[in-house]
Amino acid sequence: MVTGHGPLERAVRLWLPVGFFLFLALFPFYWMAITSIKPNAELYNRNIMPLMVHAPTLKHYVDLITKTSFLVWTWNTMLIAIVSTAISLVLGTMLAYPLARMRFAGAGLIAMTVAAVYLVPQPLLFIPLADVINRLDLGNTLTSVILTYPTMLVPFCAWLLLGYFKTVPKELEEAARIDGASRMQTVLKIFLPLCMPGFISAGIFAFTLSQNEFLYALIFLTKTTVRTVPVGVIAELIRGDVFYWGQLMAGALLGSIPVALIYSFFVEHYVAGLTGSVKG
């Protein structure tokens, strides 16, 4: 008697759950895409199947780019995300390396504190941060959010990098030190290059959080010329009880493209960085 599962049954058991979760993940993007290319006559016609497009148009994209400051918002968002991510990775590395490699009193407590700080809700922090920004007279400047975003990004980057740093064998650094390399040379030429997957993983997370952040950007950036995409789209395309759904969905779809491209190009390093962090 032959036992076991046939190839068809195994394929069904594997791909059916995968297909289900893939559908759940991609459906919002499909909805944004079809809504962004529907003419207004279809958007507000309840007699038309909502998941289909009968007369596709790019008018919403044209209006978004020509009638709003979407390109300016995109530039602001990219600049803020890149600079905030770079600052957070540098400071996170400076915090995580001594915790992972050096023995000193209170190291465990500091590591737990770093993880706890990341869990502090943003609404508890934005009031004192708003006071600091006002005292520095940085309101309505990109500098205001570039300085405040690391408050939530540095603890996360440090926590993620700490776990990855612990997976790198200490023997490599010890061998370099025996050969005459200084601590700084060992870190820059031996240790950090080996941790590139961890940096990519932390960088992708930090970039994603910076690009999608809403609360600080809403509070500190009130002028159209300094807004980011999440705030600009909501503030400019929702006027009272009027929702410009076509442009809203076009802006949401275009705003998600950079992160999607980054994940697609660096997915292997991203997974390796997360795996190393979990093992650590």
Distance CA 25, CA 28 (A): 7
- What is the Cα 146 distance to its own chain's centre? 15
Distance CA 32, CA 64 (A): 14
C-alpha dist (Å) from residue 126 to 13, 132, 158: 47, 10, 21
pLDDT in tens, 52-76: 888 888 999 999 999 999 999 999 9
Q: Which fold has domain 34-279?
A: MetI-like fold (1.10.3720)
Distance CA 140, CA 239 (A): 21
pLDDT tens digit at each of 280 positions of the chain: 445 556 777 777 878 888 888 899 889 889 999 999 998 888 887 777 778 888 888 999 999 999 999 999 999 999 999 999 999 999 999 988 888 887 777 777 887 887 787 778 878 888 888 888 989 898 899 999 999 999 889 988 888 888 888 888 888 888 888 888 887 888 888 888 888 888 888 888 899 889 989 989 998 998 989 999 999 999 888 887 788 889 999 999 998 888 888 777 766 665 655 555 445 4
pTM (2 decimals)?
A: 0.83
pLDDT in tens, 29-51: 899 999 999 988 888 877 777 78
Distance CA 255, CA 211 (A): 9
